[in-house]
Amino acid sequence: MDILDLTITQLHDGFVKKQFTSVEVTKAYLDNIKKTDSEIGAYLSVTEDLALAQAKKADKIIASKKDFPSLTGVPCSIKDAILVEGEKCTAGSKMLENYIAPYDATVIKNLKNNGAVILGKTNMDPFGFGSSTENSAFKVTKNPHDKTRVAGGSSGGSAASIAANEACYALGEDTGGSIRQPSSFCGVVGLKPTYGAVSRHGVFAYGSSLDQIGPMAKTVEDAKIIFKVIFGKDPLDATSVDYKFSNQESSMKGMRIGVPKEYFAKGLDPEVEKIIKNAINRAKENGAKIVDISLPNLKFALACYYVIAPSEASANLARFDGIKYGLSEQAGKDLLDVYVKSRGKGFGAEEKRRIMIGTYALSSGYYDAYYKKAEEVRQLIKQDFQNVFEKVDVIFCPVSPVPAFKIGEKADDPLLMYLADIYTISLNLAGLPGLSLPAGKIDKLPVGLQIIGNYFEENKILSVAGLMEKMLL
């Protein structure tokens, strides 16, 4: 087996048995990035010097210890919204084209403390505004399975880097499906944790009540290894939660799996439906009990999300004014002119669109009609899920209504693009965890099964996903 095909677990075993060194593995990944990434466009910056320095340090740890963390010496990629000290962090926007991170995000500190090797920063829609990584100010990331199609978004670069063997694993960030949807399109495993399970300190915010960092990997086991390193309470993030993750060994026998009728309605590609229903049937054959459920307020989720998310985005992006950091057009005749010119040049069309929508929804006279109403609907969506989790253990449904679509196919129609997140955004509104698991292919295009769990039940989701992974191989 090629060294680039190995999982975290396999690389760790290889390091233990002294079959290869971290420097050798890291150089193999760096060589492959040089060879293939001009075509894929997964990376915005490759941190070769950092990666080789970390690999050398990892090799010293491996040589001196019998027992060392599973991530030691294993190369990864990082979504470019997450700060890595001393490296560029653009968030996919011209506004931050030359911004150098002054410190590490908490998740990066956790990875470094466990011996990770960081290969580079991956492409994304600016500040997470998109479902295809076509809005990036710098390049379009292509799907490694079919280069005429998108990799998904906004963590498209992270998903593509794993699928193209340009990283062993990655960190993504999910505001409305930005880990799960590109994972589905690129055929990798992606976990969006419960809101608050992972610190958001050191991450450029999109929607502060929606954002969550999570792992993207080749296998469920790898995703679990990464999650166990990054989750937990952080004194620098008041929304992070202290909870205990315990390994759970589940059995399909007697597992109650909810199948929401709203996810199998008009708009779902028949081939995608067939693959998801096949996965559900496999679970049933192995002893799971399939329960038909309903989430009646799900039909309002898209409208609800596209009031709340742009509102929070408009508030978060107010800090980019051309004064404190980021792009600054200093040739203005007064302070207002500096603001207008800096923001006009630094923000692209989608950033401006979401700022305008959000500012309008929060403005005097419209706040109650839009933002407040959306928050009320959000509570109804949360309640729907809570009612359902009294009857079932997990929920199975598609990640996306379609496989990866053609590059440019939806670029000129924002509403059509927003619909790409229709099956994922409800989890961010409710704060629930969800995982995308490769479940099959239409021709050569991967399709993901979405596994949803109750709050802080990542252990259950990962356990069920591990069982399903074996059944669907």
Residue positions annotated with a catalytic role? 79, 154, 178
Cα separation, 289 vs 286, in Å, equals 9
Q: Of 219, 207, 218, 234, whose CA–CA distance to 305 is shortest?
A: 207
For residue 364 the two structure tokens come to 């005097």
Cα separation, 28 vs 333, in Å, equals 52
C-alpha separations of 138 from 10, 130, 151, 208 in Å? 34, 14, 15, 25
220-230 vs 458-472: helix axis angle to the nearest 10?
Answer: 160
DSSP 440: E
Which residue in this structure is represented by tokens 């491996």? 62
For residue 410 the two structure tokens come to 């939806």
Main-chain phi, psi angles of 412, to 5 degrees:
-95, 0
Q: Which residues of 10-43 are buried (b: 16+ CB within 10 A; e: fewer)?
A: bbbebbeeeeebbbebbbbbbebbeeebeebbbb
Is the distance from CB of 284 to CB of 419 less than 8 angstroms? no
Cα separation, 6 vs 222, in Å, equals 11
Helix (H) or strand (E) holding 441: strand 434-442
Cα separation, 223 vs 170, in Å, equals 9
Cα separation, 263 vs 210, in Å, equals 21
Which residue in this structure is represented by tokens 């030691």? 72
E strand spans, 82-200: 117-122, 142-143, 146-150, 169-174, 189-192
Q: Of 287, 276, 264, whose CA–CA distance to 393 is shortest?
A: 287
Cα separation, 395 vs 260, in Å, equals 8
